[in-house]
Structure 1
Amino acid sequence: MAPSLPTSILLLFAVAIAFALNVTAATSPSPPAPEDGIRVVSAEKRIDLTGPIVKVFLTLKVHNPATSSDASHILITFTPAEAQHLAIVKATRAEGKRKKKVYVPLPVQPVDLAADVPNGARLYSVSLSAPLRPTETTTLEVFYVLTHSLEPFPAEIAQSESQLVYYRDSAVLLSPYRVLEQVTYLKTPSNRVESFTRVDPTARSGPEVKYGTYKDQLPYVYMPILVHYENNHPFAVVEELVRKVEISHWGNVQVTEQYKLKHGGARHKGVFSRLEYQSRQSISGASSFKNLLARLPPRVHSVYYRDEIGNISSSNLRSDSHKSELEFEPRYPLFGGWHCTFTIGYGMALQDFLFGSEDGRRFANLTFGCPLLNTVVDNLTIKIVLPEGSKSPQAVVPFLTEQHLETSYSYLDVVGRTTVVLKKKNVVGEHNVPFQVYYEFNPIFMLAEPLMLISAVLLFFVACIAYLHVDLSIGKSQTS
């Protein structure tokens, strides 16, 4: 007996849905597969939570089985939150044995994938200096820094209260490979750990919490953990730093740095008592800070420190031929949520930073990053003002930055000075590395300003002589 019309329609509709689901499953993007057969034999993750910035040291022992092909890169994985706050990531490969062992730096690049990855993971590729052949094993050392990853809780504290923070992570390593054995260590600044997630086996010894050892974990496994602990280190955050470096071929380099600083920790509530703060500094305002330390280039001179009101005398400079340290105090101590702005300026000898390249160009060897220790810079702008007449500028920075050119004007400038502008977000102390700015310069342009001054003086004297020899008085007309 033939099925009725409604039943036939239902059957046809069901077949169509099944076909559509099969097509969708066949065409939907699958998670990116790592190179065949790679296994992480052992993984050790050490998380340093002793300061306001999270530093992670990851050691991976990677094995390529005999059935696989050569591996030219190794993938490492970050959660979406980690990728958002990732300031810098470095990787090295151990080569040699025992006393001859050396660590070779390896390039690390984010992997731009259109396919969905489990748990929203973000992949980074570590390019190996030499392919990892079948049956070979190598060790990778990965170091990365996370900013704004500590969440104050409670979000507001009184002057006499300690600062407590949350840190979130995974007990096991989020990896695209099967991990045969792994362990995670978290180190806090003190023994005061309010609470932490237990994922057996879990152990705590003083300020350190250990997760693991875990055996044979599948790829992309994630076990969330939460650690609540005391952290009274000041959360110094530079919301914006603008550094202006003016290069003069007459022998000086002038640097001006404008800061917008805030305390990024738990917000201060209640009334501030300066008497209590000065009498019990170890207890009252334990998470605040009233002084900062800046490491400046060696042999700086003409150092000044001021804010909107004027010069601030509460500073101390220690300078020699190897380093310069400027210790200074804002006009008031900074508690959570408080802001201040100030300017630091100094001069440097040109011969210490300007050199000649083999192709005839000149280049300035400067330092990137922020001189303030243990700070995070949300937005950094560096402006290198080249001498007037400079051509073909090129900035060589060892990491990705935004770059563009603009023109600056100063005293006695005619056509303006070429200015190289570098911008970068989320800058930490590991970004304080040298970078170079190459440019072409004709020495004849050094005579432009002196000639302008000489011409101005000559014109002034000519005008004075003409004025003295011209009779501008009104005389009486003579009549016959």
Structure 2
Amino acid sequence: MATLKAVKHWLVLLVNVLIAGIEEFHVLYHRFPSQMAMKWSLISLLVVIGVQVVTIGTQSTGDVVNGKVDRVIDISSQLVRIQTRVVVDNSRNKKSLDHYVVGLDALSAQHLSYISATIDKKALKVAKVDDKTYRLQLSASEAIAAGQSASAVIEIDTVFTHSLTPFPEQILQAERQLVQYFGNVYFWSPYETKTQTTKVKLTPSGSVESFTKVKPTAQTDRTITYGPYDNIAANTHAELKIHYENNTPFLTVTRLERVIEVSHWSAMISVEETIDVLHTGAQLKGAFSRYEFQREPTNGISSIKSWKTKLPVNARDIYYRDDIGNISTSNLKAGSQHLIADLRPRFPLFGGWKTHYLLGYYISSQDLLLNEGNDFVLKIPFVDHIFDNSVIDDVTVKVILPEGSSD
């Protein structure tokens, strides 16, 4: 037991040495002279154990290579969407590859909202290892054979929220909105990359104040291209910063409560959503002028006047109201697959402004409720499509079942 404690102590000590450097090692030496005088055989044992731990934690990462990486970073809305296409090279490896590790830098990990992956167009199971690491599990039929060179293609889709920062933070009513995007010039990966290219998609205006230049870099009307870059070491980071115009709706649902009530008596299902919405773009500086807003079409270009919500095509008795009462400034259009509700609040939303409303409807239970005898299955979306490129910070879904129901 004493030996195990000593090994544990030395493992912690060596980790600190690796982080702190040689100078800190001398400090630790003077602080723990008795431990430093332990037999070198114990040190040798610890080194072997440490090497084995590192080998297990990064199994085959040194043998696996990203043969070619193509990234597309879309920052044309309030969301940041990154599509990554990786051609995996397993020619160095003596074992077949049954998983692929996706890494995120600290900044990206804070804002990740969605991740999915495919190999040769087949969906992969994504498992979260920690906040910065995800493991793509390959089945026996999908595993990349040992010695296989640049033939398997893995595609990774990620979506990030609140990754764009308004700069300046406040603007006048007539000013355009500028935002900053911070990312990585290179594909953050635990594997070496042979060659890589990144394309950044901008808003339709294509107006850019400034952006990071790492040769070779090229700019067109709506795209900034970085690379190709060759022989990139694992976990390489170089800050990517783009300051550009983005007047798309920065609309965030700060709170959503969705109540679904099933009634056997009326054979209807009622859905009601209580929604708090906030404009999270650059805040309005100064007073709001209704006259200037109506006089100039481009005045308040970053403000939000309305948004479109998609409802089930068979929804009926739709209502849209707030604490004052019914909001009549809305329209409803029938589409092929949805009803489109054009919701217009009582006032336009500028940065820092918010609104609160209720949206509800009824739908026949035979459209959503399946049954086999006395066993019922309710199949309904977790949330409706509130608006394009929506961000929902907090959501609560309540389902009210008929009295006497049991699981």
Q: TM-score range by the shorter chain?
A: 0.7 to 0.9
Q: Distance in 2 between matches of 1:83 and 1:209?
A: 23
Larger radius of gyration: 1
**Counterpart for residue 109 of structure 1:** 127
Q: CA deviation at 1:360?
A: 6.3
Q: CA deviation at 1:316?
A: 0.6
The answer to whether residue 109 in structure 2 is matched with residue 83 in structure 1 is yes
Distance 1:65 1:312, change over 3 A: same
**Counterpart for residue 77 of structure 2:** 51
**Counterpart for residue 221 of structure 2:** 206
Q: 1:34, 1:176 within 8 Å by CA — same for their partners in 2?
A: no
Q: 1:300, 1:319 within 8 Å by CA — same for their partners in 2?
A: no
**Counterpart for residue 372 of structure 1:** 386
The one-letter amino acid of 2:260's match is V
SS in 1 for 2:109: helix
Distance 1:368 1:13, change over 3 A: closer
Q: Distance in 1 between matches of 2:112 and 2:231?
A: 28
Q: Distance in 1 between matches of 2:405 and 2:161?
A: 38
Query: After TM superposition, what 4+ stretches of structure 1 lie above 4 angstroms from structure 2?
Result: 12-15, 17-31
Q: CA deviation at 1:230?
A: 0.4
The answer to whether residue 156 in structure 2 is matched with residue 142 in structure 1 is yes
TM-score, length-normalised on structure 1? 0.72
Q: Distance in 2 between matches of 1:262 and 1:67?
A: 51
Q: Distance in 2 between matches of 1:67 and 1:251?
A: 61
Q: Distance in 1 between matches of 2:59 and 2:182?
A: 26
Q: Distance in 2 between matches of 1:302 and 1:333?
A: 26
Distance 1:197 1:34, change over 3 A: farther
Where in structure 1 are there 5+ consecutive unaligned residues?
1-9, 95-102, 113-120, 393-480
Paired residues for 1:2-401 under 5 Å:
16=36, 30=54, 32-35=57-60, 37-65=63-91, 67-94=93-120, 103-112=121-130, 122-129=132-139, 130-136=142-148, 137-189=151-203, 190-249=205-264, 250-282=266-298, 284-319=299-334, 322-356=337-371, 361-373=375-387, 374-392=389-407
**Counterpart for residue 444 of structure 1:** none
Paired residues, number = 365
Q: Distance in 1 between matches of 2:194 and 2:272?
A: 53
1:361-391, Cα deviation, whole Å (9 max, x unpaired): 3111111234212220000111111111111
Q: Distance in 1 between matches of 2:152 and 2:406?
A: 47
SS in 1 for 2:215: coil
Q: Distance in 2 between matches of 1:16 and 1:30?
A: 23
1:251-294, Cα deviation, whole Å (9 max, x unpaired): 11100000010000011110100111111132x11111111100
SS in 1 for 2:325: coil
Q: Distance in 1 between matches of 2:198 and 2:38?
A: 45
Q: Distance in 2 between matches of 1:327 and 1:17?
A: 76
Q: 1:42, 1:180 within 8 Å by CA — same for their partners in 2?
A: yes
Q: CA deviation at 1:17?
A: 7.6
1:166-190, Cα deviation, whole Å (9 max, x unpaired): 1011111110101001011111102
Q: Distance in 1 between matches of 2:341 and 2:93?
A: 59
1:295-345, Cα deviation, whole Å (9 max, x unpaired): 001111111100011111011112366311100100100000001100001
Q: CA deviation at 1:13?
A: 5.2
The one-letter amino acid of 2:186's match is V
Q: 2:64, 2:92 within 8 Å by CA — same for their partners in 1?
A: no
The one-letter amino acid of 1:81's match is L
SS in 1 for 2:197: strand
Q: Distance in 2 between matches of 1:46 and 1:239?
A: 29
Q: 1:370, 1:377 within 8 Å by CA — same for their partners in 2?
A: no
Q: 2:66, 2:87 within 8 Å by CA — same for their partners in 1?
A: yes
SS in 2 for 1:131: coil
1:47-72, Cα deviation, whole Å (9 max, x unpaired): 00110111111100002126421111
SS in 2 for 1:75: strand
Q: Distance in 2 between matches of 1:177 and 1:17?
A: 38
Q: 1:193, 1:207 within 8 Å by CA — same for their partners in 2?
A: no
The one-letter amino acid of 1:128's match is L
1:140-174, Cα deviation, whole Å (9 max, x unpaired): 11111000000000000010111101101111111
Q: Distance in 2 between matches of 1:381 and 1:133?
A: 45
Structural RMSD (CA): 2.5
RCO higher in 1 or 2 (8 Å CA, sep ≥ 6)?
A: 2
Q: 1:151, 1:166 within 8 Å by CA — same for their partners in 2?
A: yes
Q: Distance in 2 between matches of 1:104 and 1:15?
A: 54
Q: CA deviation at 1:18?
A: 10
1:4-50, Cα deviation, whole Å (9 max, x unpaired): xxxxxx9x959938989968977777593142511110001100011
SS in 2 for 1:390: coil
Q: Distance in 1 between matches of 2:86 and 2:217?
A: 21
1:187-237, Cα deviation, whole Å (9 max, x unpaired): 110221100111111111122111111111111111111100000011000
Paired residues for 1:439-458 under 5 Å:
none
The one-letter amino acid of 1:45's match is R
Where in structure 2 are there 5+ consecutive unaligned residues?
1-29
